[in-house]
Amino acid sequence: MVQTPPFTDNVVIFHGIGTPGRRLEPGEDVYWLTRSDFRDVLDQIVAMGPDRPEITFDDGNASDAEIALPELNARGLKATFFVLTNRLGRPGALAERDVAAMAQAGHQIGLHGHSHLDWRRLNQAGRIAEFRTARQTLEALSGSEITKAAAPFGYYDRAVISHLISEGFSALYTSDYGRVRQGNFIRPRNCIEAGLSPEEMTRVLTGKVAPFRKPRRLVGIVRKRLWPVRRIP
């Protein structure tokens, strides 16, 4: 009888904190927290002790360095920051020196691509820019090997998985909700949004999928992971 690998981790995603310094994409505002709410969530994570989730940040917003970094350091927490290289140095985004500072403080840097594109739609030139060139930029800035990637918008398929593995990445972080199975290349994450109730926040921090999300999550995962690989020129 084949045994199902155990769930071993929960991973949460933060995006922006405080007042955005750039124009947000449609629907992005729900993922921004106030400074006070962000501090409260970190305090809840600290209180969880050894059961605390893995912490990640997407998009490379300036608030990662200006707000998140000092708050994490003050609590002895570590995180992985998934950075977009095309935004580096732009208003509201991380500067190159911020990437180096986060790495020097003991946090990990991960790849979120170059231009925040749907990785399923990339041609060969796009894959080189999004996976290889952006990775080289982040490795030069952080002084460390980049082995983790996070899919923009949570979009991926078997082709994306195959390309990332061929580039030598060790993990793909998604937005699928739920907990991580031991040894899996795909690492689902639970998104922290503004306005979550205490019960909803507890589910996010512990990786328990809300009942209304379960059917949609299952269908989405099957479609992403099992759908035949499309041919990309």
Backbone φ and ψ of 76, nearest 5°: 70, 25
Whole-number mean pLDDT of the chain? 90
Dig out the tokens for 118 from the structure: 């749907």
* DSSP one-letter code for 128: I
With contact defined as beta carbons under 8 Å apart, do 107 and 141 qualify?
Answer: no
Q: What is the pLDDT, as a whole number, of residue 128?
A: 97
Specify the pLDDT at position 215.
45
- Using DSSP, state whether 103 is helix, strand or coil: helix
* pLDDT of the residue at 230: 43
Is the sign of the CA dihedral 32, 33, 38, 44 positive or negative? negative
Which DSSP category does 132 fall into?
I
3-state secondary structure 13-74: EECEECCCCCCCCCCHHHHEECHHHHHHHHHHHHHCHHHCCEEEECCCECHHHHHHHHHHHH
**Which of these, 54, 58, 51, 50, lies nearest to 17 by C-alpha position?**
58
Query: Which residues are bridge partners to 171 per DSSP?
Result: 148
Find out whether 233 and 127 touch, Cβ atoms under 8 Å.
no
Quote the CATH superfamily of domain 7-226: Glycoside hydrolase/deacetylase (3.20.20.370)
pLDDT digits (tens, 9 = 90+) for 174-200: 999 999 988 899 999 999 999 999 999
- Amino acid 126: pLDDT: 97
Instruction: Give the pLDDT confidence score for residue 2 in this predicted structure.
Output: 47
Q: Residues of the chain whose pLDDT is less than 50? A: 1-2, 214-220, 222-223, 227-233
pLDDT at 183: 86
Helix 158-166 vs helix 214-226: crossing angle, to nearest 10: 60
Residue 123 has φ and ψ, to the nearest 5°, of -90, -175
pLDDT in tens, 68-103: 999 999 999 999 999 999 999 999 999 999 999 999
Domain boundaries defined on the chain: 7-226
Write down the residue that tokens 């090997």 correspond to: 145
- Amino acid 35: pLDDT: 98
